[in-house]
Amino acid sequence: LEQDADIVIFLYRDKYYDENSEKGDNAEVLIRKHRNGSVGTVELQFIGELTQFRDVEFRDMGPEQ
């Protein structure tokens, strides 16, 4: 894997393993290998009903007028 993959990314949702998680429905994108970039963690909001991930700061403004 080390030599073949350019990018290795994991998704982690604490609430999946612990219903009482303080992180709520947020998920973490763990970038563990990036051959031409940086590694780190990005937090996202998980919308289970839609199976969708959004920026934590996302604000739905409703339908366009």
Strands 26-34 and 52-55, how do they pair? unpaired
pLDDT tens, the chain, 65 aa long? 678 899 999 999 999 999 898 888 899 999 999 999 999 999 999 999 999 999 987 566 666 54
pLDDT score recorded for residue 3: 81
pTM over 0.85: no
pLDDT at position 24 is 85
DSSP assignment of the chain equals: -TTT-SEEEEEE-HHHH-TT-TTTTEEEEEEEEETTS--EEEEEEEEGGGTEEEETT-----S--
